Chain A
Amino acid sequence: MELTGAQILIECLLEQGVDTVFGYPGGTILNVYDALYGYSDRIRHILTAHEQGASHAADGYARSTGKVGVCFATSGPGATNLTTGIATAYMDSSPVVFITCNVGENLIGKDSFQEVDITGISMPITKWNYLVRDVDELADAVRTGFAIARSGRPGPVLIDMLKNVTATKAAYEPLPKSEHAKHGMLRALRGRAAEEFKAPEPNEADIDALVDMIRASKKPMLLCGGGVVRSRAQEAFTRFAETVDAPVAITVMGGGGIVGRSPLATGMVGMHGTQASNMACDGCDLLIAVGCRFSDRVALKPDSFAAQAKIVQIDIDRSEINKNVRTDHHIIGDARAVLERLNRKLEQQDHQPWKDYVFSFKTETEYDDSPDKLTPKQIFQSIAKLLPPDTIVATDVGQHQMWAIQHFHFDYPGQLITSGGFGTMGFGLGAALGAKVGNPDKTVIHITGDGSFRMNCNELCTEEHYDIPVITYILDNRTLGMVRQWQNLIYEKRFYQTTLDRGPDFVKLAEAYGLRGRRVTNVEEFEAATREALEWGHGFVIDCAIDTDEMVRPMVSGGSHITQFLLD
């Protein structure tokens, strides 16, 4: 059948099973929106306040559902406003397809109004991008883009198209998703990069070698990284950990890879890792990292990281092996597939003395609790008490993010939505909205700080308009807490440019957007406000006053040995 490029694009989205798109229209993408109008019974478009919000929403949707998120934006500033969202998705391996339109063929390359080379700009932050110049390659490009985004190590893809492509009519042949791999660009790509589209079969000899290493180990330790979450490998990972009988530390991206209160869980590892996690990494004789790239926040000092251990890396991405830390053995493959193979071969191990040693160290930070004030731990204990256990938590970046990961015990992959790699302040609200849209039956909360919230609080209007009930908790210390913490500890308390003694009044701001808000200063008020938010059932903002000088503990400064705690 003959369709316009815009219609072909949307037909291709339907082929992928897309029913939700986040975006923002503009001049060059108008044909697409005009066509989308005709499909509005099948595809729901969520209009955000800003393209960045849309990009984070599509990302939050993808992370929480495991499906590919989709985000639309126009050319020029619309496209560049996506870049922070694209980079965020890239660093955390989140599958999102970004669709942008560029100026028409007759205007491209002439510095036309709202023209920008977005495929050039997004090259370092996309897994793949493509500029569609001819309507005949549009369907092929979209099918290829989706396959690339979700396959192998997932990641964001950007497809840019000229405005005239969206208006030109061309033949469109519907093709079921299962057939895509047999056609066009995708067929050629699969032919030569088969591993990218079908995770490599774990090498049997590699598996056997690791089994032998585990048998020989007296003090094994596991790191649960984002790969466990992305491959939804919790069951296999948990069984593996139990069979090896090893303590398990999570990275920021690994939250939910194992049940948070598992008796094997030692909590987070690295810069703000627990004593138990960091001491175990330092003392173990075998460290098995699953889906973890040893970032500088985990392996703070690569040369001395787990220096007494044989380090084993299990990763789907070959280029991660030996990138940050020199390993002794590695297995290439999807985390779940590799762990299932290991589970079949490995018999029950027993490491009680080693576990006793590791768990003699703290697995959670203690605070001076008092009824007159709120501490991070109290906040997350109250949340755990009052909200359903499967509540999805989206965070922004900073102290509140670390506290959320330290004190909210995540139980399943996709429960924690956080910008771990890129550290994007302003990520949380958009991501929470996307998560709620993708999981309408679950409670979704947004944990933020006053600094992060100010960055993209404009999305409260999206929350109100579409009635997406998210509870925002602002851990409000009236400062840029994490930076202040560094100033406090490393920069001799010169608190320059980090004090946020300014508006707005967050309660009034929520009300101005048509939502409700409460300011709370102690546990009793906190719990009352949480109950009110749950009863009300719409968007709600709770401004939680916490101590300006509350710090994230423990802390090891960047580049230091993992057990050199600056703060306990």
Chain B
Amino acid sequence: MDEIKRTSMAVLVDNQAGVLSQVTRLFSRKGYNIESLAVGTTDDPAISRITIEVLADEDHALLLSNQLRKLFPVHSVKLLSPQRSIRRELILLKVRAETGEKRTEVIQIANIFRASIIDVSTGSLTIALIGDENKTAAIQAILEQFELLELARTGIVAMERGLETITAETKERDEFNLGKNYR
């Protein structure tokens, strides 16, 4: 058994009712809890992009991607290696800050993280931050000294670095050749 690690998959699908449940069903049926899920349309409004992250070893990630490719509403699937891709999510944190002193402190922390204050009321501040899970975990840990009222995250969206795209099937052949040990 290979090492189990957090694996990102980007999936292009028809933007239709029921497609998301078809895709997620494949994961639940095999007992994978989806760690992160983000869905949105692409430059083509008929096509949505789903970014899914699960904890899986390399073999199982490959099997999952092969089975995803079999679904007719799925256009393409790409396993995104952490080294060669960028991964980001947006999180919103609502913090209780009822005094001027506390508000200043929260704003300073937000500035350090290059987060933005997107809402303010007499008792609270809401912060928006874009980053990967390390960065979002860090701000969350620091803000815990204040009362964290609510937290929402979009789920990770990911894309390969450089010129490679999900629609170029450049890596496919290599992926399928993984099981060939006859040489």
Please report A residues at the B interface, Cβ cutoff 8 Å: 119-120, 123-124, 127-128, 148, 189, 192-193, 196, 209, 213, 310, 312, 317-319, 321-323, 326-330, 332
Contacts and interface: CB of A to CB of B under 8 A. Distances in A.
B182 A328 contact: yes
Given A119-B18, A189-B72, A319 B181 contact: no
Interface of B: 18, 21-22, 25, 29, 59, 62-63, 66-67, 69-70, 72, 75-76, 176, 179-182
B179 A123 contact: no
A318 B75 contact: no
A322 B179 contact: yes
Contacts of A148: 72
Contacts of B25: 123-124
Q: Which of B70, B72, B176, B181 has the most CB of A within 10 A?
A: B72
Given A124-B25, A310-B182, A319-B69, 19 more contacts: A120-B21, A123-B21, A123-B22, A127-B72, A193-B72, A209-B182, A213-B182, A318-B66, A318-B69, A319-B66, A321-B179, A322-B59, A322-B63, A327-B179, A328-B180, A328-B182, A329-B180, A329-B181, A330-B179
Interface of A is mostly: mixed
B75 to A, nearest CB: 5
Given A123-B21, A123-B22, A319 B179 contact: no
Contact of B179 (A209, A213, A326): A326
17 contacts: A119-B18, A120-B18, A120-B21, A123-B22, A189-B72, A192-B75, A310-B182, A318-B69, A319-B67, A321-B66, A321-B176, A322-B179, A323-B63, A328-B179, A329-B181, A330-B180, A332-B176
A128 B74 CA distance: 12
B28 to A, nearest CB: 10
B70 A317 contact: yes
B18 to A, nearest CB: 7
Contacts of B181: 328-329
A465 B146 CA distance: 79
Given A318-B176, A328-B182, A128 B59 contact: no
B50 to A, nearest CB: 16
Nearest to A329: B182
A385 B181 CA distance: 48
A213 to B, nearest CB: 6
A262 B60 CA distance: 39
A124 B29 contact: yes
Nearest to B167: A192
Nearest to A148: B72
A189 to B, nearest CB: 6
Contacts of A310: 182
Contacts of A193: 72
Contacts of B67: 319
Contacts of B22: 123
